[in-house]
Amino acid sequence: MPHMKEQKLIKYLAVSTGFAVCLVRISTALSNIATGAALLLAFYIWYSRKDNVFLSEEIKGYMKAYGVFVLLTVPSIFFSFKPIASIKDILDFWIWRYVLFVVIAAFIHQRDYLVNMLTAFLAVNAVDCLYTLVQVLNPASPSGRGFGFATGSGSSLSASMCMLLPVVLVILMDPGFEKKLKRISAFSVISIIVGLLCNQSRGSWLTELIVVPIVTFRYLKQNKKYLAVVLAVFLGITAFMASSPQHVQRVKSIVNTTTDTSNTSRISVWKSSMAVIRDYPVTGIGAGRFAEFYRENNKYNYGYIEYKKYKSYKGRVHSQLLGAHNNFFQIAAESGIIGLAGLLYFVGYYLYSSLRNYCKHKNPYDILVFTTVFGYICLYGQISYSLNLSAGIRVMWFLLAVLLKMKETEGNNY
């Protein structure tokens, strides 16, 4: 393929990928169309190159670790009470939602494309977060909470904020990032803080309290001005929440395991998960089958209502299917200890490799890879099945791919 033609196709590929992640919380259908377009372009470029696709050894290692996890969920198909449905779920959850990572890692090597995609996504997410304020101020909102563009549920927004706040803070503090990224990150920090306050996700609050200090420690230690600003913002947020009865109640409810329905229902479904794991320890009940199995087997129902009806801020009634509310319980229940071993290997490889690289080179990309996986899968994933949040997991793969490719474009420094 002529070089100019290939560069144009890669540009189209970057645009399609950018659209896919920017639309992920606005319209799943449009996001899937953009993902499909990116995948078709990637196949065409790959075919034209005659298999000549460059992947760094680092990215190959990360991809192999994830591949081990996916392969170890496959045995659960043969013991699933609905094997065809389990195959479809594996293809959807673990393959289709992973496409953005593969496309970016294999074909988008130009830093300006990576920067533009990340800038566009941060801008869309910032507007998404600010929209929560509009929803909160709307007197017709029954819950008093803002969910952003995906008005039915705030889980995907809170999950995204857990990953993005560390990213934009590092971009602002580290001198190596482009000015356009710094400008949009300054706007994003304000927007995400608004989103965190309006969305009122306790899981995101707790996650940020852990990952933000980890990712900013080196910068705060080096620059006292950053430390002063961060402390001032933290104290301001604390004062605001202390003066808001609704936020005070949300904070108190974190440790309420007796009367808070959200907490008691999670505890109930965790008990159910452990009962399923005890009875199906090796291969589980089948990938993607937990919710259906739980609903149809009273033996494992500990009083938790599988479907709950609620009204969105527009007053429409929805039904929400809830899973095990924990990544590790859900995978263990559906894929047994075999699948759980795969998940632990995948997560452990990412955390160990990124932290090891960061300790050696002190670059911003590795620490952000660490906090993205640690925050989204390990912390937020303790109270939510975040691996199955379609928007959240796609954002995670997008961020990881962009961060790793941006690290490569820095040359041999890292």
The band of 309, judged by pLDDT with boundaries at 50, 70 and 90, is very low
The distance of Cα 37 from the centroid of its chain, to the nearest Å, equals 22
Q: What is the pTM of this model?
A: 0.93
Find out whether 160 and 125 touch, Cβ atoms under 8 Å.
yes
pLDDT at residue number 151: 53
Cα–Cα distance measured from residue 258 to residue 202, given in angstroms and rounded to the nearest whole number? 17
- Would you say residue 414 has pLDDT above 50? no
Number of residues that this document lists for the chain: 414
The DSSP string of 334-384 is HHHHHHHHHHHHHHHHHHHHHHHHHHHH--HHHHHHHHHHIIIIIIGGGTS
Segment 274-295 shows an average pLDDT of 92
Given this model, what pLDDT does residue 318 score? 33
CB distance 11 to 110 below 8 Å: no
Residue spans of the domains in the chain: they are: 3-254+325-409
- Assigned token pair, 218: 């080196």
Contact yes or no for 28/151 (Cβ under 8 A): no
pLDDT at 380: 96
If residue 103 lies in a helix (H) or strand (E), which one and from where to where?
A: helix 99-107
Q: Which two tokens stand for residue 207?
A: 């996650």
Q: Are 86 and 289 in contact (CB under 8 A)?
A: yes
